[in-house]
Amino acid sequence: MSNEFIRILIFAAIGIWNTIFDLAIFITLLNTLGKLPIWNKSKVKAASVFHICSFLIANLVSYVLNTNFTFKASQSRGFLPYFIVTLVALGVSTAFIQYFNQSKFQALFHKYIVTKLPKNLPLLNNLKINDKSWAIILKLSSVLISMVINYLGYRNLVFIGIN
């Protein structure tokens, strides 16, 4: 296997762990602070704010892990360029969540995806997509967007001297 392939596997493994960590923070915020009445009056959706919080916390952990494991044979230009790449990914993924966090997209997802799932599986029987589950679906979808932006940015702009 090539060094690049191994690096991508390590990045993916760290990404999976970090995604679970990120999602745990996101769901915790959604289940605790999301119940506060301020979100009923605010024009900013709680899902977008909680996404930003969980994303930034998880990113600090990601920097440490990727610096020490994924790109260990290279020199880092430091946390600031890493953070700038992360902010680009955060902006794109937050715009994705904000844009698609609308009932019309939730209804389309239900119509074209949920209704096509097998009905004989107990977990999928009578599956309903509510606002909370839709926010989690969007959060998970945004992870793929962030992963591509982050890897390419870290690989080409942050860590130097990579074979």
Which are the contacts of 15, defined by CB distance < 8 A and separation ≥ 6? 62, 143, 147
What is the value of pTM for the model shown? 0.70
DSSP codes of every residue in 75-102: EE--HHHHHHHHHHHHHHHHHHHHHH-S
Q: By CB neighbour count within 10 A (0-12 exposed, 13-18 middle, 19+ buried), where does 116 fall?
A: exposed
Is the confidence at residue 87, as pLDDT, over 80? yes
What is the structure's pLDDT at 143? Answer: 86
CA distance 67 to 70: 6
Is the confidence at residue 126, as pLDDT, over 70? no
Q: Helix 3-32 vs helix 46-65: angle between axes, to the nearest 10 degrees?
A: 140
Give me the residue spans of the domains in the chain.
3-160
What is the structure's pLDDT at 24? Answer: 95
What is the structure's pLDDT at 43? Answer: 56
